[in-house]
């Protein structure tokens, strides 16, 4: 298809832009239109997927037939089968008379199933039957009916991922995805943003009988850089708001900033990912944080062990595990660490969720009182360490449980129970 034919389609269906990805999507839609192949249109919300379904229908031999656009996510799960395939009188409460479904109404035409990923699993099985054999059964009936309907589906979600998670039928996915068409988001169409804004501005100036908007150079740069999560729909809404609310028809960067919502983003962590173009999911970020935390804890164990041994000087140990102190923002020396009082933490027994974590400062307990930790001692017994802390606290307070419990940061009742649990002779 040459460029003139693509431009002709754009004018006919009101599509604005010259992005190569957009032109490719139009070309694929025009090529598949004369056939009866099922098409799956993917793309973010607001990119104009329904416009491509109309291109496919209007350029096909079904253009004189019925065309219906259905949002599968907007139909309740209990009624979607009736809406799509019809029902018989008395088939369910409220079915006072028989009703034709959309597939029966559009026989010989095309049906556009938007947000097909939201379709219930039972309805997915019925749709697969229509695609495979061109037949369906009304709700409450046993009679098989035939239909000749072209299905064009669309979704703004990753349908293949939904298949892997068991949320969408695999056989239906491959049946719908006979010809895939991807509609690019606005953030990938930098040069088209200003074209669209001027078009919307002109339309609204005519509609509201005002002068068209103009953007300062700085405002144009800001508009082009903005990611537009709502895509064309969002850009159109912004143009309309400014057209109605602003008296000054020249839009500055300060004015534009008031209409562009701030977008909060999660800090990207990409050093663990091979594909730098793929944004990590929240789960991947959480895994990385947990792995880094585990590494820091292991490094701290080895740092304390190194400080206990006489083989290395304090400063050598600090330099060896310098990564533990990178976030302090200033050089760390052995003398600085020794100035800080050691902190001990009451470690809960795994079967006792009632115990709280409370930091305890004890000037009589220091690093030398802690049993040395070796690199191989990865399966350290928490119960053993807790027992040692309880014994030291009792010894320090002359076996007075009230004061020992206060130093340990636990209740006297909890201390009494642990004394019995560990069989401590006080």
Is 285 found in the same domain as 252? Answer: no
- Measured CA to CA in angstroms, residue 154 lies from 52, 63, 82, 355 at distances of 10, 19, 21, 53
Domain-ending residue, one of 184, 201, 216: 184
Choice between 253 and 384, residue whose per-residue pLDDT is larger:
253
pLDDT over 70 at 271, yes or no: no
pLDDT in tens, 82-118: 999 999 998 888 888 999 999 999 999 999 999 999 9
Is 323 found in the same domain as 210? Answer: no
| CA–CA separation, 47 and 184 (whole Å) | 7
| CA–CA separation, 23 and 12 (whole Å) | 14
Choice between 318 and 119, residue whose per-residue pLDDT is larger:
119
What's residue 274's pLDDT?
40
The reply to whether 166 falls in a domain is yes
Is 164 found in the same domain as 19? Answer: yes
List of residues 6+ apart from 291 with CB closer than 8 A: none
Q: Is residue 331 very low, low, confident or very high in pLDDT (cuts 50, 70, 90)?
A: low
Q: Is residue 377 very low, low, confident or very high in pLDDT (cuts 50, 70, 90)?
A: very low
Domain count, the chain: 4
Helix (H) or strand (E) segment spanning residue 20:
helix 20-32
Domain-ending residue, one of 340, 361, 394: 340
The reply to whether 11 falls in a domain is yes
Is 300 found in the same domain as 380? Answer: no
What's residue 414's pLDDT?
85
Is 311 found in the same domain as 231? Answer: no
Query: In the chain, what percentage of residues exceed pLDDT 90?
Result: 57
Is 128 found in the same domain as 238? Answer: no
| CA–CA separation, 250 and 231 (whole Å) | 23
pLDDT in tens, 33-91: 999 999 999 999 999 999 999 999 999 999 999 999 999 999 998 899 999 999 999 88
Is 66 found in the same domain as 14? Answer: yes
What's residue 425's pLDDT?
76
Is 350 found in the same domain as 320? Answer: no
pLDDT over 80 at 133, yes or no: yes
Q: Is residue 283 very low, low, confident or very high in pLDDT (cuts 50, 70, 90)?
A: low
Residue 252 belongs to what domain range? 188-257
- Supply the CATH number for residue 77's domain: 3.40.50.300
What is the arithmetic mean of pLDDT over 231-253?
A: 94
Domain-ending residue, one of 130, 156, 184: 184
What's residue 335's pLDDT?
53
Is 92 found in the same domain as 41? Answer: yes
Mean pLDDT of the chain: 81
* pTM of the complete model: 0.62
β partners of residue 153: 40, 113
What is the arithmetic mean of pLDDT over 249-254?
A: 94
Q: Is residue 369 very low, low, confident or very high in pLDDT (cuts 50, 70, 90)?
A: very low
Long-range contacts of 337-344, Cβ-Cβ distance < 8 Å, separation of 24 or more: 338/314, 342/366, 342/367, 344/389
The reply to whether 289 falls in a domain is yes
pLDDT over 50 at 304, yes or no: yes
The reply to whether 264 falls in a domain is no
39-42 and 150-155 strand pairing: parallel
């Amino acid at each position: 298809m040459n460029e003139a034919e693509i431009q002709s389609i754009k004018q006919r269906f009101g599509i604005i832009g010259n992005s190569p990805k957009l032109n490719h999507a139009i070309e694929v839609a025009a090529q598949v239109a004369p056939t009866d192949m099922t098409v799956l249109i993917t793309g973010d919300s607001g990119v104009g997927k329904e416009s491509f379904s109309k291109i496919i229908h209007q350029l096909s031999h079904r253009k004189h037939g019925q065309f219906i656009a259905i949002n599968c996510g907007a139909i309740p799960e209990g009624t979607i089968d009736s809406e799509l395939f019809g029902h018989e009188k008395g088939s369910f409460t409220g079915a006072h008379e028989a009703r034709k479904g959309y597939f029966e109404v559009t026989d010989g035409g095309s049906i556009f199933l938007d947000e097909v990923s939201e379709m219930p699993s039972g309805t997915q099985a019925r749709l697969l039957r229509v695609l495979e054999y061109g037949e369906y059964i009304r709700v409450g009936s046993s009679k098989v009916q035939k239909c000749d309907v072209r299905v064009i589906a669309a979704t703004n979600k990753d349908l293949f991922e939904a298949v892997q998670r068991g949320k969408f039928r695999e056989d239906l996915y491959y049946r719908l995805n006979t010809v895939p068409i991807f509609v690019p988001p606005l953030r990938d169409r930098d040069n088209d943003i200003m074209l669209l804004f001027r078009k919307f501005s002109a339309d609204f100036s005519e509609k509201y009988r005002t002068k068209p908007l103009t953007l300062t150079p700085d405002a144009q740069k800001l508009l082009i850089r903005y990611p537009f999560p709502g895509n064309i729909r969002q850009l159109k809404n912004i143009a309309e708001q400014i057209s109605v609310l602003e008296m000054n028809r020249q839009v500055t960067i300060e004015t534009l900033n008031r209409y562009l919502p701030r977008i909060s983003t999660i800090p990207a962590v990409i050093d663990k990912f091979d594909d730098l173009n793929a944004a990590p999911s929240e789960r991947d970020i959480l895994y990385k944080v947990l792995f880094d935390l585990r590494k820091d804890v292991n490094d701290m164990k080895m740092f304390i062990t190194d400080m206990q041994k006489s083989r290395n000087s304090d400063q050598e140990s600090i330099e060896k595990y310098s990564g533990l102190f990178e976030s302090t923002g200033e050089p760390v020396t052995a003398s600085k660490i020794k100035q800080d009082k050691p902190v001990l933490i009451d470690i809960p027994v795994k079967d006792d969720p009632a115990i709280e974590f409370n930091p305890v400062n004890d000037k009589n307990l220091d690093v030398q009182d802690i049993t040395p930790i070796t690199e191989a001692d990865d399966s350290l017994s928490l119960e053993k360490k807790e027992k040692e802390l309880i014994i030291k606290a009792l010894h320090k307070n002359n076996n007075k449980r009230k004061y020992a419990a206060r130093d340990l940061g636990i209740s006297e009742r909890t201390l009494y129970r642990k004394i019995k649990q560990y069989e401590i002779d006080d």
